[in-house]
Each structure stands twice: as C-alpha cells, then as structure tokens.
C-alpha cells in the first residue's frame, strides 16, 4: 500500500444517477395514478410491483449492489429470503384458518 491516491472503486457516471432519479420520479407518478384506478384484486400487486421496481433501482444503482462482491449479494438475498419466510409463513397461517371445520 503505497500509491494512496488511486480510487478503490471507480465511481458510477453522473448520468446514471440522474437517469435513476428520473425513473423513480416517473414511477412515483405512475403509482399514484394507478392508486386511483380500480383493478380489483390487482390493486395490491400493481402497487407492490411498482414499489419493488423502485426499490431494486435504489439497491442496484444508488447502493452500488450492481458492482458489489458476492458476499454483499448473499446478504441482500438472505434479507429477502428471511422477510419472505416471515410474511409467507404468517400469511399461510391466517389465510388457511377458515379452510378447516
């Protein structure tokens, strides 16, 4: 470790941040618009789908996951996995309560 001034990671382009910002703003407008429509059972999937796309953009670009080592990806996938267990198992209980008897 001698030549200290070379960056340890090349910064992402300025353009990529502004593009992501613009997409996030557009998706916010779309989600508000979609909220006022009635898609019946699809109301929630549409709202959550847009939110997942927005979250993915923030994670991949703003949080640099795209250029992160596999260990970081392990943690990201683990958090999604454990959240899915918590929500999935809980819902499987409540949604199946009326099925028996």
Partner 1 sequence: MSAIEETEHGHGHNKNLAHHFDTLEQQHEANTLGMWAFLLTEVLFFGGLFAAYTVYRYKYSAVFEEASNLLDITLGAVNTAILIGSSLTMALAVRNSQLGNSTKTGHWLVLTIIFGMGFLGVKYFEWKHDYDIHLMPGKNFFHWQFAKKAKEIHTKEHSHRLPGPQDGVLKDDDPSLGVKARLESEQARLFYLLYFCMTSLHALHMVVGFGIIGVIAWKAYSGVFSPDYYTPVEIIGLYWHFVDIVWIFLFPLLYLLGAHLGH
Site pattern 45..74 for partner 1 (x: CB under 8 A): --xx-xx--xx--xx-xxxx---xx-xx--
Q: SS3 string of the chain?
A: CCCCCCCCCCCCCHHHHHHHHHHHHHHHHHHHHHHHCCCHHHHHHHHHHHHHHHHHHHHHHHCCHHHCCHHHHHHHHHHHHHHHHHHHHHHHHHHCCCCCC
Q: How many residues bind partner 1 (CB under 8 A)?
A: 54
Binding site for partner 1 (CB under 8 A): 1, 4-12, 14, 17-18, 21, 24-25, 28, 31-32, 34-39, 43, 47-48, 50-51, 54-55, 58-59, 61-64, 68-69, 71-72, 75-76, 78-79, 82-83, 86-87, 90-91, 94-95
């Amino acid at each position: 470790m001698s030549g200290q001034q070379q960056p340890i990671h090349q910064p992402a382009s300025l353009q990529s941040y502004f593009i992501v910002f613009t997409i996030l703003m557009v998706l916010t407008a779309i989600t508000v618009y979609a909220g006022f429509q009635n898609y019946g059972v699809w109301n929630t999937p549409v709202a959550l789908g847009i939110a997942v796309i927005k979250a993915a953009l923030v994670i991949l670009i703003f949080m640099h996951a795209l250029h992160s080592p596999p260990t970081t990806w392990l943690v990201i996938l683990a958090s999604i996995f454990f959240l899915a267990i918590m929500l999935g198992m809980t819902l499987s209980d409540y949604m199946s309560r009326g099925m028996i008897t």
